[in-house]
A and B are shown apart, each in its own frame.
Chain A
Amino acid sequence: MSQTVYWIVTILLFTAGVYLLAVMERWAVYGRLELTYPVKSWLSLLGQESVTPRKLDMVFYETAPLLFITAALLAAMVLPFGQGSPAIDLATGALFINASLAYVMVAVLMAGWAPNGVYAMVGGWRFLGQLIAYSMPIVMAITATVMRAESMALTKIVDSQQGLWNIVYQPVGFLLFYLSSMALAFLPPFDLPVAPGTLAGGVLAEFTGVRLLIFRVGRLVLVMTLSLATTVLFLGGWHGPFLPDFVWTFLKTLAVAASFFGISRFAVRIRYDSLLAWSWKYATPAALFNILWVGILLLL
């Protein structure tokens, strides 16, 4: 496949994936499966009046939604869909995912601070604590996949799983990455920064119209990116029989995203102190154990 065709296919699949995730999100929240819902919802937000709060921090208020979606897209650009080169082919791709996802936190922090509102600010600071706690297991789970591939290039990490996927080779790492990804995308049961019912939307409470639309789409892009990252790092990437490589990646990514939303639909929101305790007391030591485990396997 030529590089141009590869590009077109990748962009189309990613866009289709984000649309399907919007349908899944609707099902996860309201239990209804409507294929036309995303179009109606997005058009409605486009037409909605953009109400801005009084005495806001305008620079952060305008920057936050754009930074949020940009960070999620940048992380997606290093992830390979097929055997061709990803949009940004980096020798440090695994590190780059972390770097760009760290700016999701900065964007949410800005969104919490900018509107000068209590609920938004509580949500923003909550996300800071949440993401710092859960970025540790994410970083360390990625490190273990890098150890096996002996490279930070994501194409080499996929190649290293040709015989045995990382989900089998390092199941603890997979579990940590999976749950931490849900916390990073603040999906239930980790939806404390938005917390419908207690924080009235939290970080997103003061955003309306186009800005809210960018946040909503940005969150779907983020879930898609994290699902794709799970596929690339732990589920063998494009490896699979009969079907073309990019179809395998797409199907696996959608399956991961569907499982995220499936858990979200039925999980109960975790209490804030438990959320932090789980990460620092159990997930971080487990991530260190995973690194030790992979190290031993590599030496055997």
Chain B
Amino acid sequence: MSTTALILLIFFGLVAIWFGWRVFMTSSMVRSALSLLASMAAIGAMFLAMEAEFLGILQIMMMATEMSIMAIFMTMFMMDPGGMGGMDMSHQKIPSIGGGMIVGALVVCIAAFTAWGNMALEVPLPDKQNYDLGMELMKRSMMIFESAGTTILVAMIAAVSTALPYKSDIDGN
């Protein structure tokens, strides 16, 4: 990896962490959701710095829609969506800090003690990466992705079904 790419990688990593922190430092639901979007987009930029073009662009694209949808749901369901009523976003502080520290320590341990193999010195061209990814999705990992896709579809149908009003409610009975 070139020095420029490494600097960009560190820069976008720091941007991702900073916006991740901002998510919890605001009381406005839309600001919170869009801070998370900025954090995720920075992770997408990290993929691009690592020359994983498809993954980077996919991450940047998917997160824009997902976080915008999250913004409207947070605005709908929170009592103080604009954060102008002085609502505190944080709760259960001690268990949260404890949980965060344990998970953080686990992540560091996994990163430190996993045998990652040799570092890839040559990155395939973006065309080849797309081809390889397609082959992976359509061959070895097909069952996993198809199962995940079907599960998500079932969850979506179930969510829509539960959100529909009872017929008796519509009739006013």
Q: Which of A60, A95, A103, A125 contacts B64 (CB 8 A)?
A: A103
> B54 touching A95 by the CB < 8 A rule?
yes
B58: Cβ under 8 A from any A Cβ: yes
1/0 contact string of B80-109 vs chain A (CB within 8 Å): 001010000000000000000000000000
List 10 additional A-B contacts (Cβ < 8 Å) besides A55-B84, A99-B64: A57-B28, A60-B34, A90-B53, A91-B127, A92-B126, A99-B60, A102-B61, A102-B64, A105-B65, A151-B127
Residues on A with beta carbons closer than 8 Å to the beta carbon of B65: 102, 105, 132, 135
Bound CA–CA A132/B58 (angstroms): 16
A234: Cβ under 8 A from any B Cβ: no
| Known contacts A91-B127, A95-B57, A95-B61; is-contact A109 B31 (Cβ 8 Å) | no
> B126 touching A125 by the CB < 8 A rule?
no
| Known contacts A90-B53, A92-B54, A153-B127; is-contact A99 B68 (Cβ 8 Å) | no
Q: Taking chain A's interface residues, is the majority helix, strand, or loop, or is none over half, making it mixed?
A: helix
Interface centre among A55, A99, A116, A152 (most CB of B within 10 A): A99
Bound CA–CA A125/B73 (angstroms): 11
Mark A residues whose CB is within 8 Å of B. 55, 57, 59-60, 90-92, 95-96, 98-99, 102-103, 105-106, 109-110, 113, 116, 125, 128, 132, 135, 151-153
> A91 touching B61 by the CB < 8 A rule?
no
Question: For this complex, into which size category does the number of interface residues on chain B fall?
Answer: 20 to 34
Total cross-chain contacts (CB, 8 A):
66
Bound CA–CA A95/B64 (angstroms): 14
Residues on B with beta carbons closer than 8 Å to the beta carbon of A57: 28, 30-31
Bound CA–CA A90/B69 (angstroms): 28
| Known contacts A105-B65, A132-B65, A132-B69; is-contact A110 B57 (Cβ 8 Å) | no
> A92 touching B57 by the CB < 8 A rule?
yes
A-B contact pairs, 12 of them (CB 8 A): A60-B34, A92-B130, A95-B58, A95-B61, A98-B61, A99-B58, A99-B61, A99-B64, A109-B34, A128-B69, A128-B72, A132-B68
Please, which residue of chain A has its CB at the minimum distance from the CB of B127?
A: A91
